[in-house]
Structure 1
Amino acid sequence: MNITYLGHAGFIAETNDVVVIMDPWLSPTGAFDASWFQLPRNHHLASLVYEKLQDPRRPIFLYISHEHQDHLDIEFLNSLPARRFTLLLPAFSRSVLMSRFSDYACEELIFFHHKQMIQIPGGFLKFYVDDSQLNRDSAILIKAGGNAFLNLNDCKLFDTLAEIVQEEGPIKVFACQFSGATWHPTCYDYPVDKYETYSKKKYLAKFESVAKAIEVIRPDVYIPSAGPPCFLDPMLFHLNHQHVNIFPRANKIIQYLDQRLRNTSVFAPEMMPGDVLNASSCRVISFAERRFDEMTAEAYLAEYAASYSKYFEERLSLHGRANEEQNLEALRGELEIKLRRLSLADRVTSPLYFRLGEEAKPMLRVDFGRRVVEYVSGNNDSKYYEISAPAWQIAKVLNHELTWEEFALTFRLRLKRDPDVYDPILHAFLVMEAEDLGGYCDLLLQLEAQEERFIVEAEGRKFSVRRYCPHQGGDLSCGWIDQGRFLTCPRHRWQFDLLSGGQCTTNAMSVQAVCLEVAAEESSTSCPSEIEADLRHEVSVQSPDRT
């Protein structure tokens, strides 16, 4: 099996008998309304994909992992002159992909489900789907030509990796995201030291997730992929040169793994777009004419941005036409619709302020308890969440050119909150579509109703805790203990303090940890009903030793 790196999360895996193309993001217009661009440039590889698609000898499969524009490049897919391929898309409960591709002309269209397998010449494809409302993503396992390639891309199913290896055997090549892709702390008004502290904590946690995944899978090769992008819009260009942020480049994760996994033999190459890995020999053949590295990064990015200067000047001339007053009123209507769909609105105790532009002017205040969206002249609350964004950017959401999540990923917004505590329901309100909020609230209630528990040991004591993370249902029995007391979710690295009843370290959620020694002592006199329930629903699942 030869694996060609297309840049970002894109790959072509091929044998003499089959071609599998994955997440080709190749359009020169970038993603998320021209806020993200491929780093290094890979637009020239569109011709390589065209060439592969015209091969009459082998069946061709084109896999798209999820809806994010740095994976689902609609412009590129619509440009394909040859459609003699099978398009593979995840069958998410949200029907957007099905609607978008219902009339897409290709040889065959398959919407796959979790653990679905498709036979290919010399092997099979197997898919893993995460459809947990806030996150919709998938991963693909390719077994062909005597090798196995697991491409996790952005998918957070770290709690299923041991099961995948147990069911499917050794994985030769593994690829997954290592860099950040979120508005926190990127868009928050923090002092530099706080911004860098948050950023470092986040990227190191991500690095550690990758390291633990490698320890579970034990591949011969790990390919750093799925990020980071670069930012060519003058509004965002500063993100490329911050001393510390959540967008470390591949050389940083490679250095981390060299130290963290120095007793393992995993090979982690820094591949450039166009480079080819031979899975059998684990050798990389370099075809990239120009290699990106930290020594030349500043000049490379300056040249890259200069080539788009006219493009962004033309965009800027159009943005001035946005009517702030009309957009604010339209935004009010949209927020009212979302508020009606948010069945758990009464749990959000801080009001949300929404401002168009930076100047002091009328803005919107969302009162979740009263379920009201009202005009106000300023922020008079001591507890609040505030967001500001250009009117033209919000207009694209209101005109359905962007989803709310895509808007969040443009990074063309500013955020602040007091207290500085993550509220998952408020976050969902901001980044989800109105029609999805009901399902999200239902999922939270289902997770809260989960009674299955497992036993984990920390500081020499045993604790009974809820097995599934209250965030998005990650299996905590596949997590690990950090600093002797924090149970860490393998999916999104949420931490729960076992010595404080299982309280999350960043918000009010809990896994309801009960120290069994204390429970036993209390039950010898009078056993409270909560402890009785804890012990009654105990299951014999032991946390893996990953401390």
Structure 2
Amino acid sequence: MQVTSVGHAGFHITTAAGTILCDPWVNPAYFGSWFPFPDNTQLDWKALGDVDYLYVSHLHRDHFDERNLLENVSKDATVLLPDYPVPDLRRELERLGFTKFFETQDSVKHTVSGPKGDLDVMIIALRAPADGPIGDSGLVVSDGETTLFNMNDARPVDMDVLGEQFGDIDVHLLQYSGAIWYPMVYDMPRGSKKRFAEQKRQRGMDRARSYVDQVGATWVVPSAGPPAFLDPELRYLNDEGRIDAEHVGGDLSNIFPDQITFLEEMKKAGNGSERPGQGLLFIPGTVGDFRGTEMLSLTHPVPEDEVMRIFTEKTAYLDAFAERQAPVLTAEKATWAADDGVPLIGALRAKFEPIMAGSDLICDGIGYAVGLEMGSETVVLDFPNRVVREPKGDDGKYRYGFRIAPELVRTVLRDDEPDWVNTIFLSTRFTTWRIGGYNEFLYTFFKCLTDERIAYADGWFSEAHDDTASCELDGWEVQRRCPHLKADLSKFGVVEGEKLTCNLHGWQWDLPTGRCLTSSGHPLRASRLAT
């Protein structure tokens, strides 16, 4: 099996039974905020797109690159389709001209037969409202000789299915870096933001290393991050801390560590050349040839010293990258909606109020009014009353508030975007504040701005989940499944004193009371074991 990095979470997989292109992203995403790092514009995208199979893990724009898919990927390719509850991904691919679909079942091994032979594939589909835009996934591929797990930035909760269906994994591709806006955009004291960022960064590293241990692959390729922030307004988001032969680590308060940093974390944790889980550095154009557990060759597109300079001289690399991409960024900004002088409240009412009317559980879960400050105009999303209105004198300070440039709001309204999380929020081109904990219901609302999505999300939250099974963690008996998204706490739970952290998403609980420290609701069943 030959595995070629095409940048970020993208890979081109060559087997005797056919070729697969995974998540081919090259054009800037999220209002021009994200560019693939390292630069992958030099690749031959027409050649890469001439494949037998296409796999797009989910609709996040750093995985679903509409322009690249439209212009460069063969419409004769068969799409390996995840098993999602809402068919938005299929609809989008059909709109781009794809007509051949192999519909998989969640976590079921399938044999895909083509003119060149058979491939065994399985797609683990995550379908909670918090997973991507109503869906995220990971792909397992076996050609009978080598088995590869492309986890990209999915967060599966049950790794046992890998062994049950495929046995040992040879190559593991996984996310390790941030793909979120917290805490950088929050209006909070600098010291607090630094501490929260350090915690966020370390939790991401811990989660990724936990997956490395659980999957137990021979070779591990950190991928799916970080992006490059090339807009001068956003350059501060890049981890440009000192990285050289004597110090690998970067800025510990930056949530976008790079590949070299995670490989160093793996070494510290014991994942070196003498044991399974050896990390490999891929950049766009790197080709790895694997035969079972054996790596036959690893070839970079440039000499080794040039590969390392991307990371050890990152500021200079990003400066040159930004200069090359400046016209692209300018063109992207030219597509944003202009100010037509019409207040935004009318369009926001038309967009939001029907969604509010169809989502009682989510609106009640939000439970308060949310402020949108858009330049000189402020609009209130009054979730208890299911209306969008102007501010009132007795509103006080909103428990959640957003400051967003009006041109961004006008653009998503013009384009009838179903997901502000996948556009405005991931762009980091906004600021926010909150009083109290994170509100998962609020962000679910913003990513479910269609009748179909909101109905699914409302129903998902209303379903009862079994929490009868228990596990023991450092002197405590706790329910085995996390109250947030049902991760196995025997694998992802970490106890420090009287606080439990689930490393899958970083949520925390106070063990003596069972109270969730991250968000309202979501209590945990826990009791101290007798000594």
Q: Aligning the two structures, in what range does the TM-score lie when normalised by the shorter sequence?
A: 0.7 to 0.9
Paired residue secondary structure (1:115): coil
Match for residue 404 of structure 1 among 398, 408, 420: 420
Residues 473-518 of structure 1 deviation map (CA, whole Å, 9 limit, x = unaligned): 3344543333254444453232333322x22221223344142869
* 1:119 to 1:241, Cα distance in 2 relative to 1, 3 A: closer
User: Could you say which residue in structure 1 is the equivalent of 2:5?
Assistant: 5
Query: How far did 1:305 drift?
Result: 1.4
1:18 equivalent in structure 2: 18
2:509 to 496, 512, 524: 496
* Alignment check: 8 A CA contact 2:198 2:254 kept: yes
Q: Aligned match of 1:428 in 432, 444, 453?
A: 444
**What letter is aligned with 1:252?**
T
Please tell me whether the aligned partners of residues 510 and 517 of structure 2 are also in contact (alpha carbons under 8 angstroms).
yes
CA gap of 1:511–1:454, structure 2 versus 1, over 3 A, is farther
Question: In structure 2, what is the equivalent of residue 535 of structure 1?
Answer: none
Change in 2 beyond 3 A, CA 1:503/1:105: same
The aligned counterpart of 2:243 is none
Give, in whole Å, the separation in 1 of the partners of 2:523 and 2:168: 33
1:245 aligns with 254
Q: Give the 4+ runs in structure 1 shifted more than 6 A.
A: none
Q: How does 1:283-432 map to 2 (within 5 A)?
A: 283-288=297-302, 290-291=306-307, 293-313=310-330, 321-323=338-340, 325-344=342-361, 345-357=363-375, 361-376=376-391, 380-382=395-397, 384-400=399-415, 402=417, 403-406=419-422, 407-419=424-436, 421-432=437-448
Alignment of 1:252-291 (within 5 A): 252-262=261-271, 264-280=275-291, 281-282=294-295, 283-288=297-302, 290-291=306-307
Query: In the alignment, which residue of structure 2 is the partner of 1:126?
Result: 122
Q: What pairs with 1:191-202 in structure 2 (closer than 5 Å)?
A: 191-202=189-200
Distance in 1 between the 2:525 and 2:396 partners?
Answer: 34
Deviation at 1:316, TM superposition (A): 5.1
Matches within 5 A, 1:202-241: 202-240=200-238
* Pairing 1:87-126 to 2, within 5 Å after superposition: 87-102=79-94, 104-105=96-97, 108-116=100-108, 117-120=110-113, 121=117, 123-126=119-122
Structure-2 change in CA distance of 1:332 and 1:118 (3 Å): same
* In 2: Cα distance, 1:306 partner to 1:437 partner: 41
Displacement of 1:427 in angstroms is 2.2
Change (3 A) 1:462 1:94: closer
Counterparts of 2:385 and 2:496 in 1: how far apart (Å)? Answer: 41
Distance 1:321 1:516, change over 3 A: closer
Q: Counterpart of 1:307 in 2: which secondary structure?
A: helix
Residue equivalent to 2:248: none
Greater shift, 454-463 or 218-227, is seen at: 454-463
Stretch moving more, 252-261 or 118-127: 118-127
- Gap runs ≥5 in structure 1: 519-547
Letter of the 1:509 counterpart = G
Q: How far 1:219 moved relative to its partner?
A: 1.1
401-410 or 482-491, larger mean C-alpha shift: 482-491
Higher CA-based Rg: 1
Change (3 A) 1:304 1:84: same
**Would you say the 8 A contact 1:122–1:145 is kept in 2?**
no
Gap change, CA 1:165 and 1:493, over 3 Å in 2? farther
1:98 alignment partner AA = R
SS of structure 2 residue aligned to 1:216: helix
- Residues 205 and 493, structure 1, Cα contact 8 Å, conserved in 2: yes
**Would you say the 8 A contact 2:10–2:22 is kept in 1?**
yes
Contact 2:239/2:256 (CA < 8 Å) preserved in 1? Answer: no
Equivalent pair of 1:458/1:484 in contact (CA under 8 Å) = no
Which residue in the other structure is 1:523 paired with?
A: none
- Residue type at the aligned position of 2:123: F
Distance 2:90 2:20 in 1: 21
Relative distance call for 1:431 and 1:302 in structure 2 (3 A) is same
For the 8 Å contact 1:496–1:510, the answer to whether it is kept is: no
- The aligned residue for residue 522 of structure 2 is 510
Which letter maps to 1:293?
A: I
Cα distance between partner residues in 1 of 2:169 and 2:16: 20
Secondary structure of the 2:60 match is coil
- Cross-structure match for 2:38: 40
Is the CA contact (8 Å cut-off) linking 2:32 and 2:333 kept in structure 1? no
Report the CA distance shift for 1:477/1:320 in structure 2 as closer, same or farther (over 3 A).
Answer: closer
Q: Over residues 432-486 of structure 1, what are the superposed CA-to-partner deviations in whole Å (9 max), with x where a residue is unaligned?
A: 324222322221221xx224412222443434x2x44332333445433332544
- When residues 65 and 288 of structure 1 are mapped into structure 2, their CA distance, relative to the original with a 3 A threshold, is farther
1:482 corresponding residue in structure 2: 495
What one-letter code is carried by the residue in structure 2 that aligns with 1:333?
Answer: A
CA contact (8 A) 1:479 1:489 kept: yes
Structure 2: distance between partners of 1:314 and 1:219 = 42
Q: What displacement does 1:241 show? A: 5.2
Taking structure 1 as reference, are residues 131 and 214 closer, same or farther at Cα in structure 2, changes over 3 Å only?
A: same
Q: Which residue of structure 2 lines up, in the alignment, with residue 50 of structure 1?
A: 46
The residue aligned with 2:139 is: 140
What SS does the aligned partner of 1:35 have? Answer: coil
Deviation of 1:252 after TM superposition, in Å, equals: 1.3
Output the amino acid matched with 2:22: M
Q: Secondary structure at the match of 1:294?
A: helix
Aligned residue type for 2:111: I
Q: Deviations over 1:122-160 (max 9, x none)?
A: 541111111112311111111115111101111110x22
State the match for 1:68 in structure 2.
60
Distance 1:302 1:236 in 2: 13
Structure 2 unaligned segments of length 5 or more: list them: 241-250
Within 2, Cα distance between the matches of 1:394 and 1:303? 31
- Deviation readout 1:62-89 (Å, 9 max, x if unpaired): 1111111111111111113743421222
Q: In the aligned structure 2, how far is the partner of 1:372 from the partner of 1:275?
A: 52
TM-score normalised by the chain length of structure 2: 0.86
- Alignment CA distance shift 1:401-1:39 (3 Å): farther
Q: Distance in 1 between matches of 2:392 and 2:64?
A: 40
Query: Identity rate of aligned residues, in percent?
Result: 24
Does the 8 Å CA contact 2:483/2:524 hold for their aligned counterparts? no
Aligned-partner residue type, residue 301 of structure 2: F
Instruction: In structure 2, give the amino acid aligned to 1:153.
Output: N
Cα distance in 2 for partners of 1:81, 1:494 equals 39
Q: SS state of the match for residue 469, structure 2? A: strand
Distance 1:211 1:314, change over 3 A: closer
Q: Indicate how the Cα distance of structure 1 residues 240 and 379 shifts in structure 2: closer, same or farther if over 3 A, else same.
A: farther
In 2, the alpha carbon distance for the partners of 1:307 and 1:461 equals: 55
SS at match of 1:392: helix
Which whole-Å CA distance do the structure 1 matches of 2:7 and 2:172 have between them? 15
Cα distance, 1:388 vs. partner?
1.2
Of residues 184-193 and 240-249 in structure 1, the stretch that sits farther from structure 2 once superposed is 240-249
User: How big is the shift at 1:382?
Assistant: 4.4
Q: CA deviation at 1:390?
A: 1.1
- Structure 1 length as normaliser, TM-score? 0.84
CA RMSD of aligned residues (A): 2.6
Name the CA distance, whole Å, in 1 between partners of 2:13 and 2:290: 10
Pairwise CA distance, 1:259 = 0.7
Counterparts of 1:160-175 in structure 2 under 5 Å? Answer: 160-175=158-173
Q: Secondary structure at the match of 2:238?
A: helix
Q: Equivalents in 2 of 1:101, 1:459: separation in Å?
A: 48
Partner of 2:228, secondary structure, is coil
Count of aligned pairs: 500
Amino acid at match of 1:266: G
